[in-house]
Amino acid sequence: MKLITAPILAFAGAAMGLAHSIRPFSNSTVSYASTSGGQFTIDGKTGYFPGTNCYWCSFLKKHADIDLTLDRIANSGLRILRVWGFSDVTEVPSDGSVWFQRLSAEGSTINTGPDGLQVLDYVVEAAEQRGLKLVIPLVNYWGDYGGMKAYLRAFGGGDVTTWYTNEATQAQYRKYVKTIVNRYHDSKAIFAWELANEPRCAGCNTDVIYQWAANVSRYVKELDKSHMVTLGDEGMGLNGTDNSYPYTYVEGTDFAKFLTIDTLDFGTIHMYPSHWGVDFDWGNGWIESHAKACVEAGKPCFLEECELRSPVMEPNGDFVMNSWLRKATQKSFIRDPRWLKSFRTDGNARFYKAGDLVRYGTDGSIRFIGRKDTEVKLQCYRVELGEIEYQMRQFLPPSAQAVAAIIGSEDSWKEPDLAAFICMSALGGESDATKAGVAPKVSEPALDVAALRAQLAELLPAYMVSSVYIPVEKIPKTASGKTDRKKLKELALKLIL
């Protein structure tokens, strides 16, 4: 994707730091990676191999950082690593950051210095020492680290779709490809050369990328007959089981067609359900349909990038929960119990999980003890409101009640607040304020808020200490006798917004 906002799992694996010591690579049969039917062969072993992406490895200027990163990747059992082989600029960075190529119509420069390809040199050398195999993309479709747009800025502008047929951009691209391929063509650490990262040509005939890929892959094979070559596309454009966007040909790509290019050794698949407007279950069919296409082409393929998302890894992400909506809905229902069949046979209704937490008594009675849905997301953390309420009650009179809730306007860009509603009156006794549907009322403060906050700060992390404290006459209840958090939130919004 243009912006990598979530961890990427490549080849069904992920890099994890498991051990700090170097595990020597002891395989004595080191050879060039190759294909074998629908599988790959690495150093004499044929099968499926796990790997990961580390695009930023190519931009680590300290050798110690590269060593530490590759140690952990190798120690986790991964064999294939995808690192960026491009960093295109139109002006030399003034901050000392790594750049590989300065593009200019007056004459481009390929940087072979310590802030240039010497960094990639060390990555390749370090990978070879650890038995890691590298996939190296040679240009980016997206603007990150320059990409095709940087070429176009230097050579006459135009839409990115013109990059594939622009004579100036293609001439310089081939010069750069030749430099990189010749520099490492003897290294057994190279798994494959990748023509581009996620090449697209929106609105183009698929022949544009097809012809470009066929010509450039043939050129690379002429330079290097030992290493594999792949396109690096996402797998878009394929006759699938639905009409979802990724299966269409609108991006000028045709996965099955590209696999027929004889100078491409294997196919690549990327998968970003939330960016593509589909759910995560959809991904199973995406993988299966591409696997079928690869079998028909007689070439292996691998899942090169895929998406994992979580509230912790992506604060306030628009798509954190959307992709899980159906699964969450399904989990809210249970299968009809057997005894239900004797009462109903239409099958048009389902049993819904109310979310109540109960405890069976010894006499067979059921006692309500709480709710399952009091876990919320706050400042990227999962917070259990019940824990906050329990700690607040430790510093309140025995008869007091405390309710924690997340409040905030749905159309506001601001982070929601954690509010505490406190009722100091004695429990029990029916009143209008406790009846279902009756709005709560603010009462006169009867507690030292500053002292309570200080006490809670001793026991809870800062994000679990309420920023808003609202004293109320009574805690509102629903018709079933549970705390009406909706009414409390409405009260808070009237007071603070």
Give the 3-state secondary structure of 163-227. Answer: CCCCHHHHHHHHHHHHHHHHHHCCCCCEEEEECCECCCCCCCCCHHHHHHHHHHHHHHHHHCCCC
Smallest Cα–Cα separation from 150: which of 180, 179, 176, 119?
A: 176
Smallest Cα–Cα separation from 231: which of 247, 210, 246?
A: 210
Clarify whether 222 is annotated catalytic.
Answer: no
Catalytic annotation, pick one of 128, 198, 251, 389: 198
Q: Among all chains, which residue has been given the structure tokens 């004459």?
A: 107
Clarify whether 125 is annotated catalytic.
Answer: no
Categorise residue 266: left if φ over 0, alpha if ψ from -120 to 50, beta otherwise: beta
Smallest Cα–Cα separation from 132: which of 65, 49, 193?
A: 49
Report how far residue 323's alpha carbon sits from residue 305's, in angstroms, rounded to the nearest whole number: 17
3-state helix, strand, coil in the chain (%, to 5): 30, 20, 50
Which 8-state DSSP code applies to residue 311?
A: T
Report how far residue 487's alpha carbon sits from residue 431's, in angstroms, rounded to the nearest whole number: 16
Catalytic annotation, pick one of 128, 305, 307, 389: 305
For the beta carbon of residue 222, count every other beta carbon within 10 angstroms. Answer: 11
What's the token pair of residue 58? 């190519």
Q: Which residues are catalytic?
A: 198, 305
